[in-house]
Structure 1
Amino acid sequence: MQHRIVVLGAGYTGAIAAGRLAKRLRREDVAITLVNAEPDFVERVRLHQLAVGQELSPRPFSEMFAGTGVALRLAKVTGVDVERRTVNLNGANEAEELEYDTLVYALGSGWNDQGVPGVTEHAQEIAGRPGALRLRERLARLDAGQPVVVVGGGLTGLEAATEIAEARPDLDVTLAARGTLGDWLSPKGRRHLRKVADKLGLTVHEHVTVTGVETDHVATADGTTIPAAVTVWTTGFAVHPIAKATTLDVTDTGRIVVDDTLRSVSHPDVYAIGDAALAMGPGGKPLRMSCASGVPSAWQAADAIAARLTGGKLPNVSARYYNQCISLGRQEGLIQYVTADDRAIRAALTGRLAAVYKELVCKGAAWGVANPTLGMPSRRRRVVGEPVAASPAVEVTS
């Protein structure tokens, strides 16, 4: 009988893992099913572009996985029973149950309202395509001079605020940051970020804690209010809640605890990749939620699954980061070089060249989803069993 591999979620990590497994394993031996709610791949790192009205090229999974042997199941995941090895789905017609032998959990993350009153009722988000499209519609209805507030000074907040300010210079765009603008960057990176914000007319409120969101303003901890016809909430991500409802070993926030091969420490037939996994990096620090962490985790998990099923050697690569890539509109960018454990160093690339660099990174990430087997041997290996071997670590390359 074929070994049934089910991959939940077709973001960067799930799609890459499915394609890589198809390349590693023989179709006679495995049946790979990729479950996703949407028929097209979503370039999450470009959703701020979608939100301001830019058109993104469609990438249908039916074309991406044509001829690979990966079966695409369009459905919403409603539950996982890791004891019975089943997944509950809500498809186009009716609810159904899908059985697996190996599960790759890649459901990722969504926006996090942080429990702040009024966020879910009044704020917009760009953690997914539906949210980005709703924000796009709201921004399009704004008249010149109306205020937009982006809450959150991290990578997503910076990219959203600068993209909106560049695309709509007629709007009054404000960024509300809990700390100093770009306080994790190098001095060169901070100077460039400040320069771009000033050039775009972006108002920055630093050391601000937003305590509530209303239809026309946000409230802060010091009692002041910031006018907002539209509030964009970018204060971090929350993982999909399904894992926390299972008997998997998870963190308080619902991330699945995994070993160095991205295998669940409590259920060896489950692998978690991307934002859904609590994977450790250099210095014993958890890898941050990002495409930069997720893509290598997909490679690692797929290669580990294939090795265990075929009796091959488990991959053994070291973990590290190299840079953080930030788009600041279409004309400016910032590439902050970092240590292996993601701390900024002095070196940074700025300006137009950095924007081109970031664009190439985005294109490369999307190309990698459609071509997840770069540098891999073309010969598929037969499933024979599961060897005992040392566990490697995740390599983070960008």
Structure 2
Amino acid sequence: MTDILILGAGYAGLAAATNLAGRVRGRDDVRVTLVNAGERFTERLRLHSTAAGRPTADLRLPDLLAGTGVRLEYGWVTAVDADARTVRLDDERDLRFDKLVYALGSVVDTASVPGAAEHAYTFDDFRGAEALAARLTPNSTVVVCGGGLTGVETAAEIAERGFTVRLLSRDRPGTGMTAKAQAYVTAALDRLGVEVRIGEITKVLPDGVDLSGEIVPADVVVWTAGTRISPLAPALTNDEHGRIVTDRCLRSVSHPHVYAVGDAAAVRQGFGVLHGTCQSGMPTGVHAAANLARELDGKQPQPFRFGYYHRPVSLGRGDAVVQFTRPDDSPRRAYLTGRAAVWYKETVTASPWPTYARMLTMPALASWWPHGGRYTR
């Protein structure tokens, strides 16, 4: 029996589990186990909607994996011993593996600025988003820290619900888009009443944020600036951000029996290291599954090749921008705005379960992703 353990049931981990289940269906010499903290599947792409108090789908892993043969184990991973091939959970159970897929992802980095961990809300999971929604009151002034896509979507969604919102960022929102697409983002935030302030966030206080020496008052602070990886597998070779360094086939460079996918992996392509999004995360999960299946058949794993396709951002429920990109994520001239962009974004970032279901029935055909990436084998 070959025990394959997959840690984390986010976009990348669930993609790996469902695709691998489709590839080993009917085999009695392979056991696939998926480990996750709870049974709810977190749609991170929709957490900003949950944080604004809007209802979102309640997807449960037992339902999503029914009939796949994948075993579910619940618990927080506290340590990974890549040499002994064991994983320790918070209830002190040890799970053994022959092959491991590390897909534990990232969390919001609240350690880089004083006070962020103590005074700011984050939403790495549904509970965090729900807690933020419960904290909002009709008279709340909300300060969103971080002008990346998550920060923009969060500020726009909360402002659309009628709250006073200030967005603090080092750069203008929409950085990385063409000038026209960025101007559209700026105009949409202005229309929603979001006040954008540019500067360096140096401290988060109980009632505000220090922005380049000026205190910006706030009833609620939301932190979306940066991510970090939990160092749970010290024996694995990591980069300066804590991500597991992989070879061309997505295996750890120090421990080839460990695959790393999604946000937790430092995956190098010709244009540089992938940055963490579901756009690239799901294909890494699928490719790891394909390579594991090849190894089970006595074949050599294949290199991973990927290129970005778009950069979508919601601007409330009725507006959006989709910036189309080159494979290296640099912007093309083409972009969508308004209702067309909303339709496009909802189509490509709708519930991923139809995609996972197709992996079970047609695992070898998973080469194009509705979440918007170019992936070829």
TM-score by length of 1: 0.88
Does 1:233 find its partner at 2:223? yes
Letter paired with 1:209? E
In structure 2, the partner of 1:397 is: 374
- Residue 63 of structure 1 and its aligned partner are, at CA, apart by 1.3
In structure 1, the partner of 2:341 is: 354
Deviations 1:154-173 (A, max 9, x none): 01101100011112x2x210
In structure 1, the partner of 2:10 is: 11
Partner SS state of residue 73, structure 1: strand
- Residue 78 of structure 1 and its aligned partner are, at CA, apart by 1.1
Q: How many angstroms apart in 2 are the aligned matches of 1:215 and 1:326?
A: 30
Query: Do the aligned residues in 1 keep the contact of 2:249 with 2:304 (CA within 8 Å)?
Result: no
In structure 2, the partner of 1:132 is: 129
**Identity between Structure 1 and Structure 2 (%):** 41
In structure 1, the partner of 2:81 is: 81
- Residue 200 of structure 1 and its aligned partner are, at CA, apart by 0.5
Does 1:98 find its partner at 2:84? no
- Residue 265 of structure 1 and its aligned partner are, at CA, apart by 0.7
* Cα gap change, 1:377 to 1:224, in 2 (>3 Å): closer
- Residue 372 of structure 1 and its aligned partner are, at CA, apart by 2.8
Partner SS state of residue 79, structure 2: strand
Q: How many angstroms apart in 1 are the aligned matches of 2:114 and 2:36?
A: 31
In structure 2, the partner of 1:390 is: none
Q: How many angstroms apart in 2 are the aligned matches of 1:107 and 1:376?
A: 22
Query: Do the aligned residues in 1 keep the contact of 2:108 with 2:227 (CA within 8 Å)?
Result: yes
Q: How many angstroms apart in 2 are the aligned matches of 1:147 and 1:317?
A: 45
Partner SS state of residue 296, structure 1: helix
Deviations 1:50-75 (A, max 9, x none): 11111222111111111111000011
Which among 279, 290, 296 is matched to residue 267 of structure 2? 279
Question: Which runs of structure 2 are paired with 1:65-214 in the superposition (5 Å)?
Answer: 65-90=65-90, 94-139=91-136, 142-144=137-139, 146-167=140-161, 169=162, 171-206=163-198, 208-214=199-205
Give 5+ residue unaligned stretches, structure 2: 366-371
Query: Do the aligned residues in 2 keep the contact of 1:19 with 1:371 (CA within 8 Å)?
Result: no
Partner SS state of residue 341, structure 1: coil
- Residue 76 of structure 1 and its aligned partner are, at CA, apart by 1.2
In structure 2, the partner of 1:332 is: 319
In structure 1, the partner of 2:42 is: 42
Equivalent pairs counted in the alignment come to 368
CA RMSD of aligned residues (A): 1.8
Question: Which runs of structure 2 are paired with 1:245-324 in the superposition (5 Å)?
Answer: 246-283=234-271, 285-312=272-299, 314-315=301-302, 318-324=305-311
